[in-house]
């Protein structure tokens, strides 16, 4: 029983640490290593905001309800491809869904519009998926609780 409990605690801590590490990698991809390093000293709260935005800022849902047909449909999304944000490319909604499925989806690199106080929804092309983006106020609330 002790061994099982120890194993469960270890796996939980490892998973939390792995998620944080993954988010840090996503933030570095978004900002670039130099800017990331500068912000560690000058504005760590912004890095925490980005961390929360990566992990809790969105959900990918199945398109299951006729009410969802009122949401904006996006077929292509602009994505930042370098840390200084000068290089961008268009990717398909299917590529977003594929990146999400394989764990490489870096939400903060996708230039999706979202609201300060209301949840934003987009139908992801013909993938059968919807992305729900939480508002900035929600992200700030989650950040304050951590």
Instruction: Locate the domains of the chain by residue range.
Output: 2-145
Taking the C-alpha atoms of residue 68 and residue 60, their distance in angstroms, rounded to an integer, is 13
**30-64 pLDDT tens trace:** 999 999 999 999 999 999 999 999 999 999 999 88
Residue 83: pLDDT above 90? no
The candidate with the shortest Cα–Cα distance to 108, out of 68, 51, 146, is: 51
Q: What is the pTM of this model?
A: 0.79
Taking the C-alpha atoms of residue 59 and residue 100, their distance in angstroms, rounded to an integer, is 10
Taking the C-alpha atoms of residue 123 and residue 60, their distance in angstroms, rounded to an integer, is 10
Q: What angle do CA 122, 56, 94 make, to 5 degrees?
A: 35
**122-134 pLDDT tens trace:** 999 999 999 999 9
């Amino acid at each position: 029983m002790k061994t099982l409990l120890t194993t469960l605690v270890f796996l939980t801590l490892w998973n939390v640490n792995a998620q944080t590490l993954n988010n840090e990698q996503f933030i570095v991809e978004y900002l670039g290593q130099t800017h990331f390093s500068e912000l560690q000293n000058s504005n760590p709260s912004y890095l925490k905001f980005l961390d929360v935005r990566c992990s809790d800022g969105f959900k990918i849902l199945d398109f299951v309800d006729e009410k969802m047909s009122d949401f904006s449909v996006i077929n292509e999304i602009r994505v930042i491809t370098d840390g200084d944000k000068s290089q961008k490319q268009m990717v398909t909604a299917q590529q977003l869904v594929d990146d999400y499925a394989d764990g490489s989806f870096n939400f903060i690199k996708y230039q999706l519009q979202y609201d300060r106080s209301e949840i934003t929804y987009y139908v992801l092309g013909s993938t059968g998926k919807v992305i729900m983006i939480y508002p900035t106020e929600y992200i700030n609330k989650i950040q304050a609780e951590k």
